[in-house]
């Protein structure tokens, strides 16, 4: 089994790092950028840094699919489109570890299983709080909903701004990137696809 074949949420377990090793690495990076980690203002920065990373990358310690396991039995007969628009997320690009932020629209056509709307947001957060590319984030959210709920159709549309483009490189502030994945009826049935985008634009 290669490292690439192991779920990203489990890869960190293959190479454990102690907290002291991590703190030492932060101090090294501070020196690399030209700072003195021993000066008063930076003495507690390594601890604060790791505390922030514990939150920002908490997705590695969760399985977002678990949020979808509990469904509402009393609405099992509902079979119309469910749409959650504008779920905000913050993530970090895996190329530069610089933030990206945006919104996610999720739609699905139930096939006997309807999940709480907050659970869809938890799926977004679970995958966003990892090193990501926007394309991978879009696909992972779609995969989770498709594989756990087994709906007749799934759509995930992500709009984001990448600070790695704004703060460095081409320095394009305000540029939006849009990615989407359409599954099942939203991909194969033109009527359902048209209905989806009509509702999203409403």
Q: Identify the CATH assignment for 72-201 out of 3.10.440.10, 3.40.50.620, 1.10.246.90, 3.30.1130.10.
A: 3.30.1130.10
Please say if 163 is a catalytic residue. no
Closest CA to 94 of 64, 121, 57, 122: 57
Among 11, 13, 73, 95, the one annotated catalytic: 95
| Residue-wise pLDDT tens digits, 153-175 | 999 999 999 988 878 777 777 78
Please say if 164 is a catalytic residue. yes
Domain boundaries in the chain?
3-56, 72-201
Closest CA to 105 of 56, 142, 72: 142
Please say if 95 is a catalytic residue. yes
How many residues comprise the chain?
202
**CATH class of the 3-56 domain in this structure:** mainly alpha
11-15, 49-53, 57-61, 67-71: range with lowest mean pLDDT: 11-15
96 is in an annotated binding site: yes
| Residue-wise pLDDT tens digits, 97-142 | 999 999 999 999 999 999 999 999 999 999 999 999 999 999 999 9
14 — pLDDT class (breaks 50, 70, 90): low
92 is in an annotated binding site: no
């Amino acid at each position: 089994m290669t490292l690439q074949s192991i779920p990203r949420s489990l890869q960190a377990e293959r190479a454990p790092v102690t907290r002291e090793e991590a703190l030492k690495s932060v101090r090294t990076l501070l020196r690399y950028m030209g700072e003195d980690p021993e000066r008063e203002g930076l003495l507690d920065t390594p601890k604060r840094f790791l505390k922030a990373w514990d939150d920002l990358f908490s997705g590695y310690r969760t399985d977002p699919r678990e949020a979808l396991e509990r469904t509402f039995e009393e609405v099992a007969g509902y079979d119309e489109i469910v749409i959650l628009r504008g779920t905000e997320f913050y993530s970090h690009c895996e190329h530069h570890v610089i933030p990206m932020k945006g919104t996610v629209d999720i739609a699905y056509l139930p096939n006997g299983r309807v999940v709480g709307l907050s659970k869809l947001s938890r799926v977004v957060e679970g995958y966003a709080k990892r090193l990501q590319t926007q394309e991978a984030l879009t696909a992972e959210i779609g995969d989770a909903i498709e594989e756990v709920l087994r709906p007749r159709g799934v759509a995930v549309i992500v709009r984001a701004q990448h600070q790695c483009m704004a703060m460095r490189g081409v320095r394009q502030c305000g540029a939006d990137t849009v990615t989407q994945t359409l599954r099942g009826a939203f991909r194969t049935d033109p009527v359902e696809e048209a209905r989806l985008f009509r509702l999203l634009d409403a």
